[in-house]
Structure 1
Amino acid sequence: MMTRSRSTISLDATCAKAVTLPNAMGKPPCVLKPIGVEHIPAFRDGEARGPLLVQILIYDGGEKSTVAPRDRHWAIAWMVGEMTTASWFVDGYPIAAHRILELKNELAPDGSGPLPYLTNWGPRTTSIGVEDQASIHVDVVVLSYSQRQVMEEIARNEPVRPPNGNWNCQNWVASILRRCEEAGILTGDQRRHALSQTGVNWRNLC
């Protein structure tokens, strides 16, 4: 099982204790990779090969949120398609899916609670739930299919750091955007403008 990577876990005051990651991506042993919807042909084969808008998703945001901006979960995502058959409709609306790059906070197999580190399982395609729809969407850049493949490869290889009181999923997202700038698929102005809309001092993330 897994939960969203809340910064309250990553920025734990008890993180003075040594935390050893099982590997650079924090993939815990005996925990299965989350299942996406890549196996469904409409999503596996239907992602637009043309340009798509890439966004930062910010969870637990909004004016009524009680979660501090630095404690909100971030992800990078873009819409890839909708299920149009009647069996995939909910309340009269088609289920949509997006390609998402994010960290997860896995639960320990022994039932002792969340693991003291985050996990990078790599890019996946997932249906959009209520939590995703309610997240704040910050536009980053429109990327071609080949550029999105570059971003996915960067995210797939972006390591996870042990909790140290400063690093969390927001730093991970900011690092991916910086590496994308270095790879030439977005500009520094585009990166800085997107991060400036997140509600945190983004200069501390890079």
Structure 2
Amino acid sequence: MPSPFSLGTSPKLPVMPATQYIPEQGKYGLRNKEGPLNNDHLCPDTDVTRPVVLFVYQPIEGLIQRHRDLHWSLGWEVSNKGFRLIHIQTHNDVRDPQPIPRYVYWGAQTKTAGNATRMAQKFLIGNLSLQQRQQIESIAQTVEWNCQNWIDVLLRKLVEHGVITSAAWAEAMAGARGAYRDRLAD
């Protein structure tokens, strides 16, 4: 799996202002609203309880300087060593209308685990049933925000809906906010 960032041909990802929100979870105006390929058919999410984790991806040398720039996602391992990931991605296709780049939520996607996912710090959200994981995917479709804030809002909604506990939210958020503190500025 490539890096959780879609960098296109640009060697550096410009910092986007936190106030730059685009309707349809970033898909508004895009030529292709389907998004990246999804491996659901190869790695289905089966009806067993699975640990759901908050991933905090490692800083990318020369690209990520501040703690707030780290990429976060929610996910869980599914069959055939695939991972079901829920996260905002950076879309950087110059053929699409401005703003370029932009944050986009393509929906939950199943991918094989690459180095970025294997090396990410992981914080347990809970051991959740298939029904609870599907509820996460459904609630994620209602969140409009950017990366870390988007995950935080999603997790808060999961607490409100009784999918996870507030203690699990607090513990995961505390760990994620402290991830890589020794290597990055606030």
TM-score interval, smaller chain: 0.7 to 0.9
Give 1:76's aligned residue. 74
Q: Deviations over 1:37-76 (max 9, x none)?
A: 1122xx23xx2312110001111259xx974321100000
2:158 is equivalent to residue 173 of structure 1: no
2:166 is equivalent to residue 188 of structure 1: yes
Match runs of 1:98-109 below 5 Å = 98-109=83-94
- Are residues 67 and 5 of structure 1, via their aligned partners in 2, closer, same or farther at CA, if it must alter by over 3 Å? farther
Q: Distance in 2 between matches of 1:55 and 1:176?
A: 13
- Are residues 147 and 11 of structure 1, via their aligned partners in 2, closer, same or farther at CA, if it must alter by over 3 Å? same
- Are residues 119 and 73 of structure 1, via their aligned partners in 2, closer, same or farther at CA, if it must alter by over 3 Å? same
- Unpaired runs of 5+ residues, structure 1, are 83-95, 161-167, 202-206
- The amino acid of 2:137's aligned partner reads E
Q: CA deviation at 1:187?
A: 1.2
Q: CA deviation at 1:29?
A: 1.5
Give 2:184's aligned residue. none
Give 1:132's aligned residue. 117
- The amino acid of 2:47's aligned partner reads R
Q: 4+ residue runs of structure 1 moved beyond 3 angstroms?
A: 8-12, 111-114
In the alignment of these two chains, the number of paired residues is 169
Q: Residue 146 of structure 1 is aligned with which of 121, 131, 137?
A: 131
Kindly indicate whether the alpha-carbon contact (under 8 Å) linking 1:55 and 1:140 is maintained by their aligned counterparts in 2: yes
- Between structure 1 and structure 2, the one with the greater Rg is 1
- Give the aligned CA root-mean-square deviation in angstroms: 3.2
- The amino acid of 1:50's aligned partner reads V
Q: CA deviation at 1:198?
A: 1.1
Kindly indicate whether the alpha-carbon contact (under 8 Å) linking 1:56 and 1:74 is maintained by their aligned counterparts in 2: yes
Kindly indicate whether the alpha-carbon contact (under 8 Å) linking 1:19 and 1:116 is maintained by their aligned counterparts in 2: no
Kindly indicate whether the alpha-carbon contact (under 8 Å) linking 2:55 and 2:72 is maintained by their aligned counterparts in 1: yes
2:177 is equivalent to residue 199 of structure 1: yes
Q: Distance in 2 between matches of 1:20 and 1:109?
A: 18
Match runs of 1:1-206 below 5 Å = 4=5, 11-12=15-16, 15=17, 19=20, 21=22, 23-27=23-27, 28-31=29-32, 32-40=34-42, 43-44=43-44, 47-61=45-59, 67-82=65-80, 96-110=81-95, 115-160=100-145, 168-200=146-178
- Unpaired runs of 5+ residues, structure 2, are 180-186
Identity over the aligned pairs, expressed in percent? Answer: 24
Q: Distance in 1 between matches of 2:86 and 2:21?
A: 23
Q: CA deviation at 1:103?
A: 0.6
Kindly indicate whether the alpha-carbon contact (under 8 Å) linking 1:123 and 1:156 is maintained by their aligned counterparts in 2: no
Kindly indicate whether the alpha-carbon contact (under 8 Å) linking 2:50 and 2:77 is maintained by their aligned counterparts in 1: yes
Q: Distance in 2 between matches of 1:158 and 1:66?
A: 24
Please, what TM-score do these two structures have when normalized by structure 2?
0.77
- The amino acid of 1:105's aligned partner reads T
